[in-house]
Each structure stands twice: as structure tokens, then as C-alpha cells.
Chains A and B, each alone.
With several copies, the nearest count.
Chain A
């Protein structure tokens, strides 16, 4: 049964050094507030899982939280590179970053397998590409009926799944709508989960398309704007200006560090950049 608690308590209770943690949200509903709280609490050696490690993971990698990244697309959407991610991969700063690289379809199949209690997922993918030369978690599998060769990928089973949603109701049921991404799978594949919401309501909005019952969620924290500079459909707009500005903030180590110090570390409460 989901417990409503502060963002600080949710992260200190459910996130530990060394955890495998998936903060999901596909452009929409990215749980920035939780990521920032993880940075503030100084978590280390995390394995970060995310299909699109965009600006949030750039920040967490630059802040030294991550030992490893499992991902399928690491860029600043519509803008360019993730400079902190590149600096870690290209120069090992602030620490070397191990990577496990997949395609979106492969990552999606891995989340689905995790949420389904299966050890692996199957897809038509990766044939002829270079992925398997560098990624262990890709294997061939043969259809027992047709003899076709397909690809198997192992289930993702994070220790912690983190998402942002528009609403929780008084019973702790979570509701979200708009672009759904892999939010449901991030929670259902994980051993524990943290959900930040824009607000708690008496009855979930009729626009809700994805519902997560209270009993599959560990902690709910009310953090209005907790997805900024991402957005919550019908609550806020994507702050495209921030994504464009990130290019300059992240390009240089010192600029990044002083930005992170001012806008993440010294903020007592998250939710506003």
C-alpha cells in the first residue's frame, strides 16, 4: 500500500547506494524532482536505467551518482549532445561510466519482461548491427514452431522504479494521461517504487488512461512541477527553453558544477529548478 511521504523521506527510505534504479518518463512526466533529491542525498554507485537518459541523467552522471548506465538513446532531444554523459564516457569524468546499450525496442521488451515476471523478452531486432559485439545482454533465440531466428533480451528488474504522474487519489491509486512512455512498466518491473504527483485528488480525473493501484506503489510524494523542465500534460508545458539552455550549462565542467550547486544541492525543496 502506497505511503504518502515527503520527497526527502521517500528517497532516503527507498534509494540506497549501489541500487539499480529506473527513473522513467518518455519526454513527458520525467521525474526530475526525485533525481535532484538523489543528487542532494549524495547517492553513489547507482546503475541508472532509462530508455532516454536526457538532461536528468546528464545531471545525475555529472554529479557522480552513477556507476553504470543502461539505456537506448542518450541525447538532449531536439538540441544535441548530453555533455556530462559524453564527458563520463569519453574521459571518465567525474568517474568512469560503464554502459550497457540497447535500442528502444530492446529496452521496451526488457521492461515488459520484467513487469511480466518473465526472465527474457523476444523481439525482431539487432540482427546485422554491432550491438551484440559490445552488449552481453543480447542473445539469439529460435522459434520452436517456425525455426525463425529472433533476439532475446533479459528482463529489467530495477531495485527502484521512479515516475511522475498527474494525480494520486486519497487511496493512493495513481493516475496519469498523455504520453504514457514506459511508466507502468518502470513501476511494475521494480521491487520498490516512488511516484511523485502534481496533486492528490478525491477522485482521479476522467482523462486518466493509465492507473496504478496503490498496492503496487511504495511511496507517493506530492511535488507539483516535479517533472520540470519536462511537463505534466494539462498541468504544465515542456520548458523547451531550459533544454536549449542546458547545452551551454552542461558543456563545461565548472559551469555545470556551479549550476548544480546552486540549483540542485542548495535547494531545500525540489520541484522548482
Chain B
């Protein structure tokens, strides 16, 4: 089998974070692939919830959109979009919200709205979708994106979804019912929040990656955990399942 790509390692590591039986609200793209990989590996009873209103979807391949017909066909329940946000997400029934991001800051706050000034943007991004309330209401949030100094910024151009806000207990003061981001998984390593400051620090490096790379790919002065670990490389089983999944045959 060929070497694992950086995206493949990121996806495998993200999948490992999901426990069995977890109820996971999945964004489209990499998070969806990771969640579906987890379901095929160690978490066969993970419940995937998509914002299209499909609860317990079991797609055979990563869907292109969150509204692909297969999600409805394989779901335990299909509810309306208003209901998925009110009765399911806002009510606190989601264990893990799995989000992507265009920009993230040291406290795990996310921008998916604009680069540059909101009214005269350099780049107009798609916007919020379900992310702000996933970030607010899920018991914890996993964030997944490729690490670069353009994405890991000192200050967001727009705060679309709140993570640990300004750090410390500032998130709690906003009255949010969900617990906030617990991990950021990148193509270089894994970041987790420090206990008191709630600032994300590097806690693991993927095979072949270096602290220097991680620091260079981060727009804020990235700190390294004293318990920095090395990521176990993807197993044959993980990699072959991921590839089969993406090919639509897993």
C-alpha cells in the first residue's frame, strides 16, 4: 500500500477521536469522511447527524453534499431542518460537533465567513451554515483543518463560531450549553486546550512532522505541550478502509 498522504493521516487521526456510540453532528467534507471512517473501524454504533435532518445516516461512501439521497435512505430518522437544530442540536443531544474551518485562532474560535473586511472582503467564504450553533451546543467540538499561517491566525477577520472565546472561563460567561472545542486535528499534528487558559497547544506530531513545521504553520506563537506525543501512524486497516470508503466500496 502506498504511503499515507497528509490528508489521510489527518483523517485517520480525526476518526480515532470518535468513540463508539457517540452522537456526532457532522459537517461535510473532511469531517464527514473521518466520521464515516470511524463508523467502519472502532465506532460502528456512532450516530451520524447531518444538518439536512438525517439522524443515524449510514452512507456507503462520503457524500458530496449533506443532502445526498443516500443519507435519507440509510438514516434511522429524517426530520425537518428546523427540527434538527431545535429538538436535536440545541437541546443538547449531540455529543460531538465535527467542524471544518477557514481560519481558527488560539482559542479555537472559527471563521468561515470572510477574509478581509466584511463589507469589502478579499475573499467571500460560504458563511456559517450550521457551525455557530454546533459550536455553541454540542457537548464538545472537534475541529479539523490543514495547518498554515493563513489558517491559524492571531486574530480572526470574522468570528463565525465561538470556541473557547477569549480563553479562561470567558466561554462559560456567554451562557453556552455546549462544552466547546476539545481538539484541533491538522495535517501536522494535534492541538488541545490547556486546562486553565483554554489556549490550544500542540500535543501531538504526526509521523515525519516537526515542532518547527508546526510553529511555522501557526500565526500565533504556538506553544508545545510538555507531554508532546508522536501520532501512531495509520494502520494498514485504517488506510485501506479509508481508501475503500473514498472509492465508494467500503
Chain A residues packing against B (C-beta within 8 Å): 1, 26-28, 51-52, 71-75, 77-79, 81-82, 85-86, 89-90, 101-105, 108-109, 111-112, 115-118, 123-131, 133-134, 148-149, 171, 173, 178-182, 184-185, 188, 209-216, 231, 233, 237-238, 240, 243
Contact = CB atoms under 8 A, between A and B. Distances in A.
B30 to A, nearest CB: 11
Interface of B: 21, 23, 28-29, 47, 51-56, 63-69, 71-72, 76-82, 85-87, 89-93, 113, 118-119, 121-133, 136-137, 156, 158-162, 165, 171, 174-177
A179 B74 CA distance: 12
Contacts of A180: 53, 78-81
Contacts of A133: 118
14 contacts: A26-B52, A79-B64, A81-B126, A90-B121, A105-B86, A129-B160, A179-B52, A179-B67, A184-B80, A185-B87, A213-B77, A237-B69, A238-B69, A243-B64
A108 B47 CA distance: 23
A238 B28 CA distance: 16
Given A26-B53, A77-B64, A231 B136 contact: no
Given A71-B127, A89-B124, A130-B159, A182 B87 contact: no
Contact of B69 (A105, A171, A185, A231): A231
A173 B58 CA distance: 15
B132 A182 contact: no
Nearest to B64: A78
Given A108-B81, A112-B82, A179 B126 contact: no
A1 B158 CA distance: 39
Nearest to B163: A128
